[in-house]
Structure 1
């Protein structure tokens, strides 16, 4: 069993198995459907399956919160909690195939600016980042034209009880969403510049999400496709596609989700598919 993703890479390099130009590995983070944190899908990320705010699954963003409380200052406060069958970030399993508990809190101003935090339990034995992921983010989201909205911001992925070494990293993100009737299409980007925790390299993530609400029902069908180029992959060429297809059923503040999730991985980097095997992910979440 792997004890550390970065430790695995170090061992392979010393063994001469992987060329020095090879990528490092699993990312850490939210289908947070990116704005993907819960990649997209709540079951998959910090809020969604890619879990980046705009990111995953993706990520929790101000506009992604269904429930909220507003005060006279123009501020809105919202919270979310989720139970997922496993935590998938950009297709990668970060909970060892086990159930994960997730939740967050957001504060948004009616100007469109927001800040928030989101956390998930991790499988510390396989992932090697400790038992908890804590995301801190802030940005701006709102309409820029009729039927078109934008979201831009900065997110930090923190691992407060990780062992010795550099694990925390920062990403900037942005997305555009267009709506037509019951359908919406989102295209987004997330970029992590050179950081010690990324092996002194960077990471680029591009994704698109499609959601179609079935008229006169509480059901929405979802599709996600993402592309990673950089450190956060399990492939020898540092490039990987991830994908998911699923459905959400909403009743009041509660959402039930089911999705089939996959990501590219090479046997040399992830023997046995510990992090990259396809999986069916189920979740139940609530926003307040």
Structure 2
């Protein structure tokens, strides 16, 4: 399933919607069934503070600090559901909060190759929408990952079909990411490149172009088993707009639990 690392690849950390329901289910089950539920369902969470919320090379926090976090619930069969949220730059259209809800399946489809497919719903609970209608939209996604020597390679696609919130136009994002740990150190190196084509590449007509390329180079430092510090350089070939599409060095401190 997609983990918090996928923020580097143009996605966001995912978490779960029904963690409380799963816990309640286990509490009212018979002892044997409760034990089975605990062994087949995994609940995990994450939280982070970042100097700039960058998504596919674009700043959603206007170059300011953002607070993020979420919860994931996964089943041993590979199915998962989750939710993730972040503070964003306050605006009438989107409000000051983004909340993502998602679900899908992830698993090894052949030796060394993992497939992840699902549907993500972007929602802005305190936004008023824009001239095109509501701000919320759906985006199916799929990715495959494997290893080449010491390097983990992930390639994927996300496609948002024509929706009123997207100006009745569609959008596709294709990306490839690389990740490799340095042996006997707490350091992992990351790189990513993505291509965006469609309405999401030109929000509110700001950029004047619908297509752009973004890329990222970063390094993770595992402070502890649960605490990670990340430093990343991100940039795009879109028209330069300060605190939106311009290059940036982003620092993130994240914890998983």
TM bin, normalised by shorter chain, reads: 0.7 to 0.9
Residues 211 and 222 in structure 1, CA contact (< 8 A), matched pair in contact too: yes
TM-score by length of 2: 0.84
- Counterpart mapping for 1:16-165 below 5 A: 35=2, 38=4, 40=5, 48-52=7-11, 58-60=12-14, 72-73=36-37, 74-125=40-91, 128-165=93-130
Report which of the two has the higher share of strand: 2
Shift of 1:225: 0.2
**Residues of 2 paired with 1:92 and 1:71: CA distance?**
45
Shift of 1:237: 3.8
For residues 191-230 of structure 1, the C-alpha deviation after alignment (integer angstroms, 9 at most, x for no partner) is: 0000000000000000000001101111110000000000
**Residues of 1 paired with 2:127 and 2:198: CA distance?**
22
Report which of the two has the higher share of helix: 2
For residues 164-200 of structure 1, the C-alpha deviation after alignment (integer angstroms, 9 at most, x for no partner) is: 4410000000000011443100000000000000000
Match of 1:219 in 2: 187
- For structure 1, the 5+ residue unaligned runs are 1-33, 42-47, 53-57, 63-68
For residues 65-99 of structure 1, the C-alpha deviation after alignment (integer angstroms, 9 at most, x for no partner) is: xxxx9962211100000010110010100001111
Match of 2:254 in 1: 285
**Residues of 1 paired with 2:65 and 2:35: CA distance?**
36
1:273 and 2:242 correspond: yes
**Greater Rg over alpha carbons, structure:** 2
Residues 15 and 73 in structure 2, CA contact (< 8 A), matched pair in contact too: no
- For structure 2, the 5+ residue unaligned runs are 17-22, 24-33
**Residues of 2 paired with 1:128 and 1:100: CA distance?**
18
**Residues of 2 paired with 1:157 and 1:164: CA distance?**
13
TM-score by length of 1: 0.75
Indicate how the Cα distance of structure 1 residues 84 and 71 shifts in structure 2: closer, same or farther if over 3 A, else same. Answer: farther
Match of 2:141 in 1: 173
1:262 and 2:221 correspond: no
Residues 142 and 150 in structure 1, CA contact (< 8 A), matched pair in contact too: yes
Runs of 4+ in 1 over 3 A off after TM superposition: 234-237
**Residues of 2 paired with 1:211 and 1:200: CA distance?**
36
Shift of 1:128: 4.1
Residues 50 and 91 in structure 1, CA contact (< 8 A), matched pair in contact too: no
Residues 44 and 72 in structure 2, CA contact (< 8 A), matched pair in contact too: yes
For the residue of structure 1 that corresponds to 2:8, the secondary structure is: coil
Shift of 1:51: 4.1
Residues 10 and 194 in structure 2, CA contact (< 8 A), matched pair in contact too: no
**Residues of 2 paired with 1:61 and 1:204: CA distance?**
23
Residues 9 and 177 in structure 2, CA contact (< 8 A), matched pair in contact too: no
Indicate how the Cα distance of structure 1 residues 60 and 82 shifts in structure 2: closer, same or farther if over 3 A, else same. Answer: same
Shift of 1:156: 0.2
For residues 15-49 of structure 1, the C-alpha deviation after alignment (integer angstroms, 9 at most, x for no partner) is: xxxxxxxxxxxxxxxxxxx95x84x55xxxxxx23
RMSD (Å) for aligned C-alpha atoms: 2.2
Residues 114 and 139 in structure 1, CA contact (< 8 A), matched pair in contact too: yes
For the residue of structure 2 that corresponds to 1:72, the secondary structure is: helix
**Residues of 2 paired with 1:145 and 1:218: CA distance?**
29
